[in-house]
Chains A and B, each alone.
Chain A
Amino acid sequence: AQSVSQHNHHVILSEAASLELGCNYSYGGTVNLFWYVQYPGQHLQLLLKYFSGDPLVKGIKGFEAEFIKSKFSFNLRKPSVQWSDTAEYFCAASGAGSYQLTFGKGTKLSVIP
């Protein structure tokens, strides 16, 4: 069965700290990977996506993610977080050619000023 796991339920960081949120997937075949962010009271926004090619993808707001096929991982990183990064972060995956997007349970990030 297809699944996405986010192991960190809640991460608390001070401003300027580095961030890494874990995401592991279980999919048969080619997989497309996404990170979405949901700021408090706002809608889901696409941070970045990976389909193929360079495994290091850069997204908006200084975020990047690395696809490591051997580890079935797609971790999200940011070198220096800001208070405004406080939000819920969802990793998601879909099979190639599929409309069905499977979400992880989400990681809540709290950044302390």
Chain B
Amino acid sequence: DTEVTQTPKHLVMGMTNKKSLKCEQHMGHRAMYWYKQKAKKPPELMFVYSYEKLSINESVPSRFSPECPNSSLLNLHLHALQPEDSALYLCASSQGSRSQETQYFGPGTRLLVL
């Protein structure tokens, strides 16, 4: 089973709202990722967690705040977003062994910021 689940599927929020995206995997993977994908563009890496610790932050604005409560869960907390943050947010996971890492992606949360 190579399933990564994400909730919600769709989210509409105002610029003053606070919301959270959730990602879950039960493959025993120890690396988890957040990506942002704009229409007709490839995914752009935002954050990487390795063994529940933040490993990579690709200079993402602080209005995006990741959290990894345990090895199966990854959250992305959103606050004071801008309309240009509207995009598909993808979660992925991989083994975490740094050997032949293969990332498996979830279906994404489609975010619209008004």
Could you list which residues of chain A lie within 8 angstroms of chain B, going by C-beta atoms? Answer: 32, 34, 36, 42-46, 49, 51, 88, 90, 94, 97-101, 103-106, 108
Contacts and interface: CB of A to CB of B under 8 A. Distances in A.
Interface of B: 2, 31, 33, 40-43, 45, 48, 50, 55-56, 90, 94, 98-108
Contact of A103 (B42, B48, B104): B42
Given A34-B103, A42-B107, A108-B40, 20 more contacts: A32-B100, A32-B101, A34-B102, A43-B90, A43-B105, A43-B108, A45-B105, A46-B103, A49-B102, A90-B42, A94-B101, A99-B56, A99-B94, A100-B45, A100-B48, A100-B56, A101-B45, A101-B103, A103-B42, A106-B42
B102 A105 contact: no
Contacts of A100: 45, 48, 56
A84 to B, nearest CB: 19
Given A99-B101, A101-B45, A105-B41, A44 B56 contact: no
A105 B98 CA distance: 25
